[in-house]
Amino acid sequence: MDFSKDPDPTLTVATLSRLLHVTPRTIRRMVLRGDIPLPARVGGRRLLWRVADIDGFLVSGGTPPLHKKRPGRPRKSGGAS
């Protein structure tokens, strides 16, 4: 993306979800869990992230944990012989 014209570029939920290859709902869940930097709320409902915040987060190794182990009963060990 070319953000060179905007002095303080921002990302919407839709743009960030495309960038991270997840759904917008997943982005909202990640915000609630604290997995990604907090957005700014604009107009009560709209969420915006500064590009610099997301870039810094990803560069520092803050890639979102998308494949967490789910809680529940362990799988049976063993298998077909």
Is-above-0.85 flag for pTM?
A: no
Residue 13: which of 31, 27, 2 has the closest Cα?
27
Q: How many domains does the chain have?
A: 1
User: Is 33 inside a domain boundary?
Assistant: yes
Q: What is the pLDDT of residue 23?
A: 94
Q: Which residue range(s) make up the domain with 21?
A: 10-59
- Calculate mean pLDDT across residues 28-50: 91
User: Is 72 inside a domain boundary?
Assistant: no
User: Is 20 inside a domain boundary?
Assistant: yes
Q: What is the pLDDT of residue 7?
A: 62
User: Is 27 inside a domain boundary?
Assistant: yes
Q: What is the pLDDT of residue 6?
A: 59
Measuring CA to CA, how many Å separate 25 from each of 17, 50, 62, 80? 9, 19, 19, 39
User: Is 17 inside a domain boundary?
Assistant: yes
Measured distance CA(20)–CA(22) in Å, rounded:
6
User: Is 37 inside a domain boundary?
Assistant: yes
Cα of 50 vs its chain's centroid, Å: 13
